[in-house]
Structure 1
Amino acid sequence: MLHVRAVCPADITDTALDLLRADPGATLVTVQRGAAVEPAGDLLECVLARESADDVLNALRDLGVVRTGGIALEDVGTLLSDAAEVAAEKAPDRGADSVVWQELVAQTGEASTLTPSFLAFIIIACLLAVVGVATDSSVTIVGAMVVGPEYGPLAGTAVALVRKDYRLAARSALALLVGFPVAMTVAWFATWLFRKLGWVTAAGVENLQNVDFIYKVGPFSVVVALLAGAAGMLATMTPKSAALVGVFISVTTIPAAGFAVVAAEVGSWHKAAMSLGQLAVNMVGIVAAGVLVLWLRPRHRPGGGTLSRLNRWWLSDTA
């Protein structure tokens, strides 16, 4: 279930209330007349089944609530309400994990924006990858995977392709096309310094044992990228965001970029090319899997799907 807060001008409040009352997935509807100060207006709140969210949010947007006020959306952690259970059962059956497009576009749009913090994270992650390669440390490589923010623009690209959202596509592309070159340039300067200090040598790069998986491209590179991309998109479009950590430590995007820099600096061009290939495979695989997951998203099923019918049977049988 989702908690919706909407600020709207007084002249459209009654229409918005009628809209919420008419939707079977909306319940616990409240209104506070004149509660909003900036912008001035009324405050509407309700609890909304995820299956109804797209219809309700699009209707409120068409009503002008977004233009003249605003809508806030958040997941409800714990809700004890018979009315909410009835609303969830009556909501259009698209599945409890149905996509809330307004929420998904907002989340991926924010994560895909090129900001100073995005650049800082991708630079730090790439530097960690360089250190991981220099020290042959798989632990440091995992740290680089977790710190790297590149999944946001990749998920944004997948959403943009499905939605044909060219603004989101441009924003995601800008973050990737600026972020990676900047991070790899900084990593190259760091590698050059480490070589001068004798911390990185060509022999050391040639004899790596613990992190050689970064540049070794094979069939399982594609499999892992697809699985990670699918898991990542599922975690992004549902409340199961904790699964994103597993996605971060499954793919070798940032480590591959860092390895390519180190290998090129020591003259190992073959390994540098293989690392860039690994980077391309992971990025394309993540985006492709994200598009596939969104394309296969739960859709309206009159009468309910098998899982929904099983859930309703179980709840009614154990009540």
Structure 2
Amino acid sequence: MLHLRLITPPDRTDEVVRLIERTPGTTHLAVLPGAARNPPGDLVLCDVAREAGDELLSGLQALGIEECGSIAVENIDLSLSKRADKAEEEAPGEAADAVLWEHLTDATHEESTLSITYVAFITLATMIAACGVVLDNAILIVGAMAVGPEFGPLAGLSTALVRRAPRLALRSLIALLVGFAVAMLVTVGFSYFMDTVHLFSAEQLDAERPNTNFIYRPDWFSFVVAVLAGAAGTLSLTSAKSGALVGVAISVTTVPAAANAAVAFSYDEYRQAWGSTEQLLLNLLGIVLAGTLTLLAQMLLWNAQRRRTARNRQQLPPQQLPPTTR
């Protein structure tokens, strides 16, 4: 369930209440006239099943509430109410399959913004991966994958393509390009320093490295894994199962590939540098492609579910319709 807190101008409160009442899956409606002070207006509270949330939010935006008032959405972790159970039964589809597009756009907007924290994380992750490739240490590689924040901009790019949001796409591309460029440049300097203090060497980089040589040897499996990880990561975002993102992060070879390219470049090992760059680009392409196709599939399936539910409701006699739709 979701909890909505709305501030509405007094002349639009009746429209908002009617919209909530005729949306299947809503309950616990409360109206507090004149309770809001900034901006001034009425306070409207309600709960809505997650699977009906996107429809209600779209209707509220069509009424212009986000411009003249406020729309706030919170997740309800526990709701002990028979009315809430009934609202979830009335809502179309399953909560786990529902996509809150505004929430997804907002989340990816935040995660895909180029910031000092984002650059710091991707740089630190790349330097950790640099230690992993030189030492042929798979644990360090996995740790670097988990630390890297690059999935945020990749998800933002997929969302922007589906939602046709050019600003989000540009922001995501800038975060990816600038983030990786800074991280690789710093890692080149880090490699020179580690070589100076005799902790890195060309011999270590040129060794067989059975645990990490896959990083500069891309193949079709690299692309397949990236596609699968991109689909899983996108599903984890849209279904609010963020714990799955950890598994996604350690499934792709973006940060380790960038690190290996930087270290190889510092030792003039251009063969490894080029192979690592191919690995990086292959993973980025696979994740964005899979994320975009996953979102498109979710959009088509959910729209089909809503149309089917609407047709079924039209065929029911009035006495069998839920109270909110009579």
Q: Same fold (TM over 0.5)?
A: yes
Structure 1 runs not aligned, ≥5 long: 305-319
Q: After TM superposition, give the deviation of residue 303 of structure 1 in Å.
A: 5.1
Query: CA distance change for structure 1 residues 96 and 198 in 2, over 3 Å: closer, same or farther?
Result: closer
Q: TM-score, normalised by structure 1?
A: 0.91
Q: After TM superposition, give the deviation of residue 79 of structure 1 in Å.
A: 1.8
Aligned to 2:25: 25
Give the secondary-structure state (helix, strand or coil) at the position aligned to 2:43.
strand
Structure-to-structure mapping, 1:156-175, within 5 angstroms: 156-175=156-175
Q: After TM superposition, give the deviation of residue 95 of structure 1 in Å.
A: 6.1
Structure 2 runs not aligned, ≥5 long: 311-326
Aligned to 2:216: 215
Task: Tell me if structure 2 keeps the 8 A contact 1:144–1:254.
Answer: yes
Task: Tell me if structure 1 keeps the 8 A contact 2:92–2:309.
Answer: no
Aligned to 1:243: 244
Give the secondary-structure state (helix, strand or coil) at the position aligned to 2:243.
helix
- The worse-fitting range, judged by mean Cα deviation, of 78-87 and 138-147 is 78-87
Q: After TM superposition, give the deviation of residue 160 of structure 1 in Å.
A: 0.8
Aligned to 2:137: 137
Aligned to 1:34: 34
Q: After TM superposition, give the deviation of residue 113 of structure 1 in Å.
A: 0.8
Aligned to 1:180: 180
Task: Tell me if structure 2 keeps the 8 A contact 1:134–1:199.
Answer: no
- The worse-fitting range, judged by mean Cα deviation, of 11-20 and 107-116 is 11-20
In 2, the alpha carbon distance for the partners of 1:115 and 1:36 equals 34
Q: After TM superposition, give the deviation of residue 205 of structure 1 in Å.
A: 0.5
Amino acid at match of 1:250: S
In 2, the alpha carbon distance for the partners of 1:205 and 1:136 equals 9
Give the secondary-structure state (helix, strand or coil) at the position aligned to 2:99.
coil
Structure-to-structure mapping, 1:219-238, within 5 angstroms: 219-238=220-239
Give the secondary-structure state (helix, strand or coil) at the position aligned to 1:229.
helix
Q: CA RMSD in A?
A: 1.6
Q: After TM superposition, give the deviation of residue 204 of structure 1 in Å.
A: 0.3
In 1, the alpha carbon distance for the partners of 2:96 and 2:195 equals 54
In 2, the alpha carbon distance for the partners of 1:168 and 1:280 equals 20
Q: TM-score, normalised by structure 2?
A: 0.89
In 1, the alpha carbon distance for the partners of 2:240 and 2:76 equals 10
Where has structure 1 moved over 4 Å in runs of 4 or more?
none
Q: After TM superposition, give the deviation of residue 51 of structure 1 in Å.
A: 2.2
Superimposed CA distance per residue, residues 239-285 of structure 1 (whole angstroms, 9 cap, x where no aligned partner): 21110110011101111101100011112111111111110111110
Give the secondary-structure state (helix, strand or coil) at the position aligned to 2:105.
helix
Task: Tell me if structure 2 keeps the 8 A contact 1:228–1:247.
Answer: yes
Question: How many percent of aligned residue pairs carry the same amino acid?
Answer: 45
Task: Tell me if structure 2 keeps the 8 A contact 1:50–1:97.
Answer: no
